[in-house]
């Protein structure tokens, strides 16, 4: 007979599910620009782009901040949680990426309160706008999801969303997309292990390519995605 509770795992699966109503499917994070410019034309060019982002890009920093916020929420250090939330606003390099994080954060915060009114008290202590990572970390602690699993799930969810964007934009076949996602798993695991062992003052990223793609996305003639 199993004695280990499956509830944290089930709640994590819900939190990272594509069915979570936060609008993640409507964002490509600059990928649409790169496809239109024919910089990314298939799985062979999409995979290294996503791999570099996982290893050196903004999503790596987000996952590291997620871990820091998780520890703050666990210790009920709301002041530092506020500081990290504001830090994320300053960190975002373009308006579209910042608005994406804010919109998804608002949607998740609203959903969490609707699911469990206990979330209202802690979220009220965080100065708005809430970033997606902020609400995600608070949910992970409240639902007793361990830190590593929370970071791992966040990175997998990000990767799956961008692969799905690639499937629609390039386009890729569904099987190609799933194979690409499987190929990203070693990098996802490695990044998750790295960030939970990193200190708050050792954050780094190299995301100028993402920033340029995101800025150019604002003036694309036609767009399927919001970023």
Confidence of residue 198 (pLDDT cuts 50, 70, 90): confident
Digit-coded pLDDT (tens) for 37-66:
999 999 999 999 999 999 999 999 999 999
How far apart CA 199 and CA 197 sit, in angstroms, is 7
Per-residue pLDDT at 2 exceeds 60: no
Report the domain count for the chain.
Answer: 1
Contacts of 59 (CB under 8 A, 6+ apart): 53, 155, 158
Is the residue at 144 inside a domain? yes
Is the residue at 57 inside a domain? yes
Is the residue at 10 inside a domain? no
Is the residue at 208 inside a domain? yes
Is the residue at 19 inside a domain? no
pLDDT value, residue 201: 85
Is the residue at 146 inside a domain? yes
Per-residue pLDDT at 23 exceeds 60: yes
Digit-coded pLDDT (tens) for 101-117:
999 999 999 999 999 99
pLDDT value, residue 1: 41
Once rounded to an integer, what is the mean pLDDT over residues 154-182?
A: 97
We report the CATH number of the domain holding residue 42 as: 1.10.4190.10
Is the residue at 131 inside a domain? yes
Is the residue at 219 inside a domain? no
Q: Which domain holds residue 139?
A: 24-213
Prior bond of 84 cis (ω within 30°): no
């Amino acid at each position: 007979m199993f004695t280990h509770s499956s509830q944290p795992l089930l709640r994590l699966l819900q939190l990272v599910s594509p069915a979570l109503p936060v609008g993640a499917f409507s964002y490509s994070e600059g990928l649409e620009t790169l496809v239109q410019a024919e910089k990314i034309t298939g799985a062979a060019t999409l995979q290294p782009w996503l791999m570099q982002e996982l290893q050196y890009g903004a999503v790596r920093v987000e996952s590291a901040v997620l871990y820091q916020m998780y520890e703050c929420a666990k210790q009920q250090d709301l002041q530092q949680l506020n500081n990290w939330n504001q830090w994320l606003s300053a960190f975002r390099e373009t308006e579209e990426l910042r608005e994406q994080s804010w919109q998804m954060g608002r949607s998740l915060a609203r959903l969490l309160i609707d699911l469990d009114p206990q979330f209202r008290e802690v979220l009220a202590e965080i100065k708005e706008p809430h970033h997606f990572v902020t609400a995600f970390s608070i949910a992970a602690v409240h639902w007793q999801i361990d830190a590593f699993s929370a970071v791992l799930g966040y990175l997998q969810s990000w990767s799956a969303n961008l692969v799905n964007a690639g499937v629609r934009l390039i386009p890729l076949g569904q099987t190609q997309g799933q194979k690409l996602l499987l190929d990203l798993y070693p990098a996802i695991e490695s990044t998750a292990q790295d960030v939970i062992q990193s200190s708050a003052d050792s954050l780094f990223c190299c995301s100028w390519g993402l920033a340029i793609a995101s800025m150019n996305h604002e003036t694309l003639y036609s767009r399927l995605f919001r970023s």
